[in-house]
Amino acid sequence: VCIVQKRDTEKMYAMKYMNKQQCIERDEVRNVFRELEILQEIEHVFLVNLWYSFQDEEDMFMVVDLLLGGDLRYHLQQNVQFTEETVKLYICEMALALDYLRSQHIIHRDVKPDNILLDEQGHAHLTDFNIATIIRDGERATALAGTKPYMAPEIFHSFLNGGTGYSFEVDWWSLGIMAYELLRGWRPYDIHSNNPVESLVQLFSTVSVQYSSTWSKEMVALLRKLLTVNPEHRFSCLADIQASAYLSGVVWSDVCEKRVEPGFVPNKGRLHCDPTFELEEMILESRPLHKKKKRLAKNKSRDNSKDSSQSENDYLQECLEAIQ
């Protein structure tokens, strides 16, 4: 990812670029195109929106909203103490985003602190539609997809026992797990990526969530409704959330317009990411963008001097178009 500026408007964006060959080698092409397909159709104040997409011989590019406040995982790792009021606003903002996605028939399937980016004022934006899916006309999803500690019980149950699959409710479970983690610093269930699915199905039926005695009763009641194991009884739409006693005083039009001031504002003078990781990424970049023009021109003249009927890049392009 790099920061770019549009010349005519001078507006700044983030540009994500993916090497086509690596996408094919890692079998990621379908996911990339699904993400593009979804992002081209949606726009919402609490999503990271796609504005432009294009490609050249080597890479695919996605130009999206630039959010400089860092992700919530980074801030958790920096031991930020999120207050109830702060988390309450995140719940409201994400409820609006998830309700919008539901209206577009989209299940995100990976709501977690890593995928919530803050803008400079501290408002939350959902990103990464890599494993999102579109379901229509009463369809149900069945794939085991997501990040295990944030995945709803019915996803594991469906994978293990078949049955009817799952739907939009899974994203609201993930929201509940995330809200709990932001308030407490750890998650309500001790689940890790290497836990077998069988043990997780058992865990949800035997372990009860422990809520902090320092949290307001209304917040606990809301979290209980988000973390209800049975999806039929779980809060899973904006109307449910708005009916909660805890959020009865919320002026939703103000939330939509970003007129509610966040309790946590990222420090503008700091880089909100791990610089070691970011610098390592830059050093390891074997084909940096600023040298691309020269490299592509050299490749083109080399290809033109060959008699081969099809260059490797043409073949990769055909693969991409076939999948698209």
Count of helix runs (H) and strand runs (E) in the chain = 13, 8
Q: Which residues, 6 or more positions from 231, have their beta carbon under 8 angstroms from its beta carbon?
A: 152, 154, 166, 167, 169, 170, 173
Give, in order, the Cα–Cα distances in Å from 145 to each of 3, 130, 191, 293. 30, 10, 15, 38
Token pair in block for residue 128 = 């990464």
Cα 84 to Cα 216: distance, rounded to the nearest angstrom: 8
Strand order in the sheet with 12-19: 2-5, 12-19, 59-65, 50-55
Please provide the distance, in angstroms rounded to a whole number, between the alpha carbons at the two ends of the chain.
Answer: 23
Could you say which of 71, 99, 110, 171 is catalytic? 110
Cα 254 to Cα 257: distance, rounded to the nearest angstrom: 5
Q: DSSP 3-state assignment of 119?
A: coil
Closest CA to 67 of 59, 75, 76: 75
Closest CA to 66 of 130, 4, 128: 4
Q: Catalytic site residue 303?
A: no
118 neighbors 67 (Cβ within 8 angstroms): yes
Q: Which positions are annotated as active-site residues?
A: 110
